[in-house]
Structure 1
Amino acid sequence: MRSIRYGAAVLAATALLTACGGTEATQVDAQAVSPGCPENAQRIAELQDTLSKNLYGIAAADSGKTQHSDPEPLGAGAPIKLTFSIEGLSHPFLVRQQQLATEKAAELGVQLDVVSANDDVNKQFNDIQNAIAAGSNGIVMMPANTQGLTAVLQQAQERNIAYSFSQKGMLGVQPATQALAPYALEGTRLGEWVVAHYGDQQDVKVALISGITGDQSSVARTGSFELELLKSCNFDIVAEQPGQYRRDASAKAAESILAANPDLQLVFGANDEGALGALAAIEASGRTGIDVVGIDGQKEMFDALKAGKALATVKHLPTADKAVEETVRYLRGEPVPQYVVTLGDLVTAEDARSGSVEPAF
């Protein structure tokens, strides 16, 4: 566990890091980087450097700008067969993604075979290989983890099979399109709101329950949220533990955090499952006065907001239907964006109670 007093805005952290060859060997100009809390300059620089290289920050900046088209498109009336390789169906958001992909394929008049990897990265690799062998025209992937996919994507490229990503993606590859989640933007948006919500309150004790260990989406969400708190000088991060984006694992992480931090005031969940797991642990402990925030906008989080058990979430928009649509357009020879990123609304308890915003799933 670590305790960090957070500081003010980043002005030159990334440039300093680049010039000096990375965070490990760099001594940043603390006063220049963080004039309000110079003791936090090194952490600011580390986060800024990490996020500047993160796929989801890059994608957000380029969304809708860079476009390309299939050099060997199918004929206008040619049938299209797509495979949608989804990481699993163990989360309600994934179920919703499957539904939207299926509906969009039907709307466009293309065949879509949905294959669930059942949360097994090895099975997903094999599923993609099978889709290549079966002669799919295109493969839309929603991977839990993109590590190890390069070899199978090369196989698809050699067979002239278009592939694209939904939700999570990759750098250094050549997909038709990447309809990606705005992970970095979501963390920033929630962090900005938390800073405004607590105002001038000092030394707010915060715990972070991150997502999948080492996953770029978790790095983007958690890091960008942390960076916003860092800028305000008013927050102490007292603990960070992974919850793997699942409720049970997040509850266990929260249990140990609660036991070690009797003065905890706020828990951040890298998704709503993480936040709801933390909430369950808080309720089981009998503790009160601990706020919870998350990201996704799922129905159970809306219920927690309405009941006054949570403060806010950011509505996470599905991407599978957009990935299917853009892949079909690519196969037809139309120009499509390299990245598509759309940020959903921040939802407070007041918003949830008013009924003005519907849950994401």
Structure 2
Amino acid sequence: MRKTLTMAVAAVALLGSTMAAEAADKMALVVSTLNNPFFVTLKDGAEAKAKALGYDLLVLDSQNDPAKELANVEDVVNKDIKVLLINPTDSDAVRSAVRAANRADVPVVTLDRAANGGKVAGHIASDNVAGGEMAGQLIVDLLGGKGKVVELQGVPGTSAARDRGQGFHNVVDKVEGIQVVASQPADFDRTKGLNVMENILQAQSEIDAVFAHNDEMALGALKAIQASGRDIKVVGFDGTDDGVAAVKAGTMAATVAQQAGKIGEMGVETAAKVAKGESVPEYTPVPLQVIQK
């Protein structure tokens, strides 16, 4: 009886040890920046899903610096991680980081922004071209097909900035009455959005609407517009808490809402499948929606 009890206890201990080992499996998430509410929400979604699936998620902030991004990746690929999730600072610059993971035989899943090189197991993102088209059509409708528009672009070289801009121009360039009077980068940053918009307001006496590639730039531009006393419609992109609040308050016309938390969740779900050797789609789209008051 005692021997049987001892064996049972040992079996339970072994099972517990095995479960603990599985729970200790690690993934890493390297984020372009945590100085942006969108990516904080993405991180939160990834952490919640990783916890639910029994993974330990290491999170590193690249602070919008490709060199730091590469250093972060080189650090985590040596920590026995099953999969690397990365939200690139720049779609071109991230190639070095992806290749570093490839050399270490660590599978890579990209989030929100694609990598223009290296081997990637899967990409989770909104359809940014479609989102840009939604924003473009919204501005055309708001202006009745006639007016002068400013475009605030994201970080040059990122797939998000390129695709949102492409979608936007797919629509507005075909409307004879719409004229894009300025297209300038403000790097997805609120303060830069403010500064760039101030300069554009001084240079352009007539502006009817602004399309910003994210809500942070839109909110910066909105502050500059409010200070100028001019009546200009602003459309953002991402659907961050601050952006949605501005829409509900009636100060921002609209935002094309991404589901940042969902991108993080789906990224971890995809990574878990990759870790188990399952096949995953090359690209998994996350739905978008226009938010207006």
Query: TM class, shorter-chain normalised?
Result: 0.7 to 0.9
Which position in structure 2 is the counterpart of 1:323? 267
Larger Rg: 1 or 2? 2
**Can you list the C-alpha shifts for 1:315-345, whole angstroms capped at 9, x where unaligned?**
1112122111111111112221111112311
Which protein is richer in strand relative to its size? 2
- The farther-off stretch of 118-127 and 245-254 is 118-127
Larger relative CO (CA 8 A, sep 6+): 1 or 2? 1
Q: Is the 8 A contact 1:210 1:240 kept in 2?
A: yes
Structure 1 unaligned runs (5+)? 1-75, 350-361
Give the alignment partner of residue 185 of structure 1, picking from 130, 144, 161. 130
Which position in structure 2 is the counterpart of 1:141? 86
1:132 counterpart = 2:77? yes
- Matches of 1:314 and 1:148 in 2, distance apart? 27
1:228 counterpart = 2:171? yes
Structure 2 unaligned runs (5+)? 1-18
1:343 counterpart = 2:287? yes
Q: Is the 8 A contact 1:186 1:343 kept in 2?
A: no
Q: What SS class does the counterpart of residue 137 from structure 1 fall into?
A: strand
Give the alignment partner of residue 90 of structure 1, picking from 35, 41, 48. 35
**Can you list the C-alpha shifts for 1:86-106, whole angstroms capped at 9, x where unaligned?**
122101111111111111111
1:81 counterpart = 2:40? no
Q: What SS class does the counterpart of residue 77 from structure 2 fall into?
A: helix
| Offset at residue 254 of structure 1 (A) | 0.7
Provide the TM-score with structure 2 as the length reference. Answer: 0.86
1:305 counterpart = 2:247? yes
Provide the TM-score with structure 1 as the length reference. Answer: 0.71
- Matches of 2:241 and 2:258 in 1, distance apart? 12
Q: Is the 8 A contact 2:73 2:100 kept in 1?
A: no
Calculate the aligned-residue CA RMSD, in Å.
Answer: 2.0
- Matches of 2:61 and 2:286 in 1, distance apart? 25
Which position in structure 1 is the counterpart of 2:232? 290
- Matches of 1:260 and 1:213 in 2, distance apart? 22
Which position in structure 2 is the counterpart of 1:156? 101
The residue identity in structure 2 corresponding to 1:238 is V
May I ask how many residue pairs the two structures share in their alignment? 272
Q: Is the 8 A contact 2:99 2:119 kept in 1?
A: no
Which position in structure 1 is the counterpart of 2:141? 196
1:261 counterpart = 2:204? yes
What is the percentage of aligned positions where both structures have the same residue? 28
Which position in structure 2 is the counterpart of 1:241? 184
| Offset at residue 77 of structure 1 (A) | 10
1:271 counterpart = 2:233? no
- The farther-off stretch of 218-227 and 249-258 is 218-227
Q: Is the 8 A contact 2:83 2:274 kept in 1?
A: no
- Matches of 1:152 and 1:236 in 2, distance apart? 39
